[in-house]
Structures are given as C-alpha cells and as structure tokens.
Structure 1
Amino acid sequence: MTGNDHYFTANPASADERRTLTVHLAGRDVEVETAGGVFSPDHVDLGTGVLLRTVPAVPGSGDVLDLGSGWGPVALSMALESPGARVWAVDVNERALDLVRRNAERLGLDNVRAVLPDDVPADLAFAAIWSNPPIRVGKDSLHALLLTWLPRLAPGAEAHLVVGKNLGADSLQRWIAEQLGDAAHVERIASAKGFRVLRVTSR
C-alpha cells in the first residue's frame, strides 16, 4: 500500500469500487453506498459499533460533530436519531465526504453537512462530538487533531471517542486529561471487544 492509498489522505489512489450495503444504524436497517479508499468500506467496523452502542442520545438541537466520518455511519446515526440537530461530518478524504453526502440524500437527511475541516465555521461550539479517530495517522497528527476539536465543545457538552486498547487508549486518556486540564473531565465509560470509549466533558 502506498501512502496515497490510505483512507486518511485527501484523494486515495486505490480504485473507487462503489458498492451498496445494508447496515443497522439508529435502530433500523438502511441501505448505504461505500467505496474503496475509505475506512471500513465493507461493514460498520467493530470500534464504531462499540461507540454507537455506548453513546447517549444525540442532543435534540444545535451543532454536533462526527470527527473522521469515513463514509458516514456515525454522522448518519446522529442525523437519523436527531433530525433537529445539524450534523457536521468532517474528514480529509474527499471520496468519503462524497459518500456521506450521497448517503444522507439516499436516506432523506437534510441536516448533514459533510465538509473538510477548514470548511467548518470557526465560531461553532458543538453540543456533542462523536469520533472513531484516525489513530494510524500517527501520534503527532492525532494529538493536533484532538487539540483542535475537543476545545470546541460547548460548556457541559460531551465528546465520546472510541480507541483500541492495544492502540494506546489508556495513554491517550491520560494525555487528553493532561492537555485539557481543568477545562474538561476525562474518563473511560466503557470497554468492549478490545476497545475503550472515552468521555470528555467540557467544563
């Protein structure tokens, strides 16, 4: 695999290979489109499944964020559960963002905005952040990503992150707590199938 094939690049070199899947999101079976060159193109990956079974209800209004959206299982779940919220699906992979837009249209969801990171208005504060973050981008890039977005939680709002135990979930929990200090409370709220779910509550 070359660097350009990775799902966390803007334009993956691997073949598009569009396909249609039936997946279970927000308590119902839905049909979605996926493609090569995006994260977990053949199913809802295990970590995302753990996250979606753990998170609380989506806020009924306001702006909510799926950070590292891929083809959209988290963003689509948020939008299906809370049509009154505005869901921001953020990714650097243009193919993934196109899939989120197509899937939102397929499901009749007009509350999803699939955008590049720089296209999110700088003054937005989020009522919730859900993420299966791209751990494999490397520690420095991951840390920069989290320090960009976690401070944008509204006061009292929560972020939920799912991270593999063997990919450093416990050390990441400690690092987030050290970096955010008194601005947030960080805790592990679930552990399943080799994954940890971390909750970051803004103060």
Structure 2
Amino acid sequence: MKTQHASDASKRDGNATEQYFATEPSSEDVRRRMKVTLRGQDAVVEVSNGVFSGSRLDLGTSVLLREVPEPPETGTLLDLGCGWGPVSLALAFASPKADVWAVDVNERALDLTRANAKSNGCEHIHAASPEQVPADLTFDAIWSNPPIRIGKDALHDLLMTWLPRLNPAGAAYLVVQKNLGADSLIPWLATALGDDYEVSKYHSAKGYRVIEVLRNK
C-alpha cells in the first residue's frame, strides 16, 4: 500500500468507521508526524489512519503511562495492543537493557511501531503479530491499553492468552474506561486467573481505571 505523509498531525483519522483491530486496514495509509511526551521523554513519531488513536496520544494511554510504576530494568516486557507504539516506546526509554515486545494484529500498527522504534533509537523493541511471538516466551511486565471494543468474549480470550505468561513476581497494568466495564473486569480476572494472582484497582483518573495484576508464583 502506498504511504503518504502529511505534516498536519491534527487531521482527523480517515475512515472513522474502520475498526483499528483489523489485520489489514482498508483506509489510505496517510502518515503524520507529531511530538509526544511519554513519561517525561520527548519523542517524534509517525501515526496514520486505521490505527488506534491515529491522530493523538489516547487519554487512556496517557493515564496508564502517568500512573504505573517503573518497569523492570531488565528482562522481557510486553506492550499488548501496541498501536503505533507509545507504550512500547515508554517501556524502551525506561528500560534500555530490557527486551520489549510490541504485539498487535494490525499490520499497519506494527509497521508504525517499527518505524517509531527505529527513529527514536529503540532497537530493543520487537514489533510482532501474536503468531510471531515465540510460544515459550514469558514476561516480567505487561502494560496494555487493551482493545475493549473487540467485545467481551474476545477481550477475555485475549487477556487469558497473555496474562498467564507473566513470570512469577511479574506485574501487568491495564487501563480500561470505567463506563466500558473496568470495575466488572477486575473480579472476572481474579476468578479466571486463580489463586496465583492478585488483581486490584491500582488507580483511577479521568474516567479510567488502571488495573494491576500481580503473579505471586
């Protein structure tokens, strides 16, 4: 698909009805550059149509990045549902000695994340589809603004695919809008994950909940 560039980062996303979790977005790939600040680190990034939050830093992502504790300095870290890569970049800036995996089903999102990682000197970011992640790979931390709008059943399947891959003493942080079911997700996760995990509300801000998932053993 032909890639175009546009300097106006404030332009609206192209096909407003297109789902950002499509594998191959049908909207035109019109790329825009913008400046963002991620946990105190300035970055210039590319965004585009057909990708989650394709014209700005999403409010939920901003809440997540502002409130979560520092990630491990080393190990393997996961950004689940990476979009154009703001969470991956924040993890990479904070933990330059760690391996950061940026996972998304959207091929355009992965392409943007790779480009943004390269342009910001984060060679330790690995952007991959779920199928490309080694089946035996486990994670010391997971940060995610998960794709709530894929539906409850699909969301539950997604979370139960990845959260059990936390290493012992690992922690996951998820940001979910309160009016999209954040409070009911907490007890569901606690039941589904079982006794080896602790699930709780870590923080609330601007209509969002940050959910903490700790693996004890």
TM-score by length of 2: 0.91
Partner of residue 209, structure 2: 196
Deviation of the 1:118 alpha carbon: 1.1
Partner of residue 66, structure 2: 53
Deviations 1:85-109 (A, max 9, x none): 0000000000000000000010111
SS of aligned partner of 1:39: coil
Question: Aligned equivalents of 2:169 and 2:47: distance in 1?
Answer: 35
Deviation of the 1:2 alpha carbon: 8.8
Partner residue of 1:156 out of 163, 169, 189: 169
Does residue 1:179 correspond to 2:192, yes or no? yes
SS of aligned partner of 2:28: coil
Deviation of the 1:26 alpha carbon: 3.1
SS of aligned partner of 1:182: coil
SS of aligned partner of 1:98: helix
Partner of residue 157, structure 2: 144
Deviations 1:116-172 (A, max 9, x none): 001111111100000000000001110000000000000011000000000000101
Partner of residue 5, structure 2: none
SS of aligned partner of 1:200: strand
Does residue 1:120 correspond to 2:147, yes or no? no
Q: What letter matches 1:64 in structure 2?
A: L
SS of aligned partner of 1:31: strand
Deviation of the 1:189 alpha carbon: 0.9
SS of aligned partner of 1:149: helix
Question: Aligned equivalents of 2:16 and 2:51: distance in 1?
Answer: 14
- Residues 1:111 and 1:182: Cα distance change in structure 2 (over 3 Å): same
Q: What letter matches 2:142 in structure 1?
A: I
Question: Aligned equivalents of 1:65 and 1:98: distance in 2?
Answer: 17
Deviation of the 1:23 alpha carbon: 0.5
Deviation of the 1:64 alpha carbon: 0.3
Partner of residue 43, structure 2: 30
Question: Aligned equivalents of 1:159 and 1:165: distance in 2?
Answer: 18
Partner of residue 30, structure 2: 17
Does residue 1:105 correspond to 2:118, yes or no? yes
Partner of residue 82, structure 1: 95
Deviation of the 1:25 alpha carbon: 1.3
Q: Percent identity?
A: 57
Question: Aligned equivalents of 1:140 and 1:2: distance in 2?
Answer: 24
Instruction: List gaps (5 residues or longer) in structure 1.
Output: none
TM-score by length of 1: 0.97
Question: Aligned equivalents of 1:183 and 1:9: distance in 2?
Answer: 34
Runs in 1 of length 4+ with deviation above 6 angstroms? none
Q: What letter matches 1:58 in structure 2?
A: P
